[in-house]
Chain A
Amino acid sequence: MLPFVQGGVPISWYLILSAILFAIGASGFLIRRNIITVFMCIELMLNAVNLSFVTFSYMWRQVDGHIITFFVMVVAAAEAAVGLAIILTIFKNRGTLQIDRINSLKN
Chain B
Amino acid sequence: MDVFLFFLFAAIAVGCAVNLVLQTHPISSAISLIGVMVSLAALYLLLGAEFIAAAQVIVYAGAIMVLFIFVIMLLNTGSEETEPVNALSRFLGLPLLLVMVGLLSVVMLDVAPPSQEVRFGSFTGGGAADVGLLLFTKYLLPFEATSVLILIAILGAVVLAMREVD
The count of chain A contact residues (Cβ–Cβ below 8 Å) is 76
A11 near B: Cβ within 8 Å?
yes
State which of A4, A15, A28 has its C-beta within 8 Å of the C-beta of B112: A15
Contacts A12-B114, A16-B109, A19-B104 given; does A32 touch B71 at CB 8 Å: no
CB-based contact A13/B150 at 8 Å: no
Would you give the shortest CB distance from A23 to chain B, in whole angstroms? 5
Interface SS of B by simple majority:
helix
The answer, among B36, B67, B116, for a CB contact under 8 Å with A44, is B36
| Bound complex: CA A67 to CA B55 (Å) | 11
Is A105's beta carbon under 8 Å from chain B? no
Report B-chain residues with C-beta under 8 Å of the C-beta of A23.
97, 100-101, 104
Tell me, in angstroms, the Cα distance from A65 to B98 when the chains sit together.
Answer: 28
Select which of B93, B111, B146 is within 8 A of A15 by beta carbon. Answer: B111
Residues of A with C-beta under 8 A to B63: 77
Contact of B33 with A43 in the complex, beta carbons under 8 Å = yes
Tell me the smallest distance from the CB of B42 to a CB of chain A, in Å: 11
CB pair B130–A63 under 8 Å, yes or no, is: yes
Contact A28/B146 with A7-B117, A14-B43, A77-B64 known, Cβ cut-off 8 Å:
no
Contact A54 B149 (CB under 8 A): no
28 contacts between A and B (CB under 8 A): A9-B6, A11-B112, A12-B108, A14-B6, A14-B43, A16-B105, A18-B108, A19-B101, A19-B104, A20-B14, A21-B13, A31-B21, A32-B21, A36-B30, A40-B29, A43-B33, A47-B36, A52-B108, A58-B47, A67-B134, A70-B52, A75-B146, A77-B150, A78-B152, A82-B153, A84-B68, A85-B157, A87-B75
Instruction: Spell out B's residues near A (CB within 8 Å).
Output: 1-4, 6, 10, 13-14, 17-18, 20-21, 24, 26, 29-30, 33, 36-37, 40, 43-44, 46-49, 51-52, 55-56, 59-60, 63-64, 67-68, 71-72, 74-75, 77, 80-83, 93, 97, 100-101, 104-105, 108-109, 111-114, 116-119, 122-123, 125-126, 130-131, 134-135, 138-139, 142, 146, 149-150, 152-154, 156-157, 160-161, 163-164
Binding site for B on A (CB under 8 A): 4-28, 31-34, 36-37, 39-41, 43-44, 47, 50-52, 54-55, 57-59, 61-64, 66-67, 69-71, 73-82, 84-89, 91-92, 96-98, 100
